[in-house]
């Protein structure tokens, strides 16, 4: 994870923005590492704490909006048709998709806000929000609230730990992120092997 620290220290605010934008669209670059390291960089004087938080929020929201727009453009009808033909690869069928759609239509606002604070979910939560055509105002409100909490807490933790926290971030958060990815991948493989279309 040393390269993340180098990007932040050399790129400053722009580096933080770029990293959070990319990690939102490409989750294997984990924000649970990026933002604490941004906080550490702020403690070392490379960037301001407020600047790090604002850049992280802006980059994350840019990624959130990008995924949301793509999902809205795809549309629920086209996605449902794709699921009907290829749903096995998502371990999803149209009946399950309809249940998810109804639930998300009813609870989508707070689900987006809460999802922004959950590793592995915080990026992809934009997709169902876009597919159900969640109103822009609702999406932006809940996304901003959840993302602000996530970014501020992680950046503040890194700032509080300071330079002494760098070994901790590298030793623990990286492996934890990798473990989450491995568990998610294993869960997907198990679901794929045991998947049956709903009657």
Q: Write the pLDDT tens digit of every residue in 89-136.
A: 766 677 777 787 788 888 888 889 998 888 777 888 898 899 888 999
pLDDT of residue 1: 58
End-to-end CA distance of the chain: 46
- Which pLDDT band holds residue 13 (cuts at 50, 70, 90)? very high
Q: How many domains does the chain divide into?
A: 1
Mean pLDDT of the chain: 84
In a domain, 17, yes or no: yes
pTM, 2 dp: 0.79
In a domain, 199, yes or no: no
Q: Which domain holds residue 63?
A: 2-193
In a domain, 198, yes or no: no
In a domain, 138, yes or no: yes
In a domain, 66, yes or no: yes
């Amino acid at each position: 994870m040393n390269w993340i620290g180098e990007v932040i220290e050399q790129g400053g605010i722009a580096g933080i923005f770029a990293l959070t934008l990319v990690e939102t669209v490409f989750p294997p670059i984990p924000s649970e590492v990026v933002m604490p390291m941004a906080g550490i960089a702020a403690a070392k004087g490379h960037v301001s704490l407020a600047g790090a938080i604002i850049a992280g929020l802006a980059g994350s929201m840019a990624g959130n909006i990008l995924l949301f727009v793509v999902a809205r453009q795809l549309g629920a009808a086209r996605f449902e048709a794709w699921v009907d033909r290829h749903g096995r690869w998502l371990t999803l069928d149209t009946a399950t998709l309809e249940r998810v759609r109804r639930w998300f239509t009813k609870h989508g606002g707070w689900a987006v806000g809460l999802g922004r604070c959950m590793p592995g979910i915080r990026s992809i939560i934009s997709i169902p929000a876009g597919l159900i055509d969640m109103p822009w105002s609702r999406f932006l409100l809940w996304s901003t609230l959840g993302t602000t909490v996530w970014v501020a807490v992680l950046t503040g933790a890194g700032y509080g730990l300071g330079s002494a926290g760098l070994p901790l971030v590298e030793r623990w958060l990286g492996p934890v992120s990798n473990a989450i990815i491995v568990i998610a991948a294993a869960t997907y493989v198990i679901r794929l092997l045991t998947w049956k279309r709903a009657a």
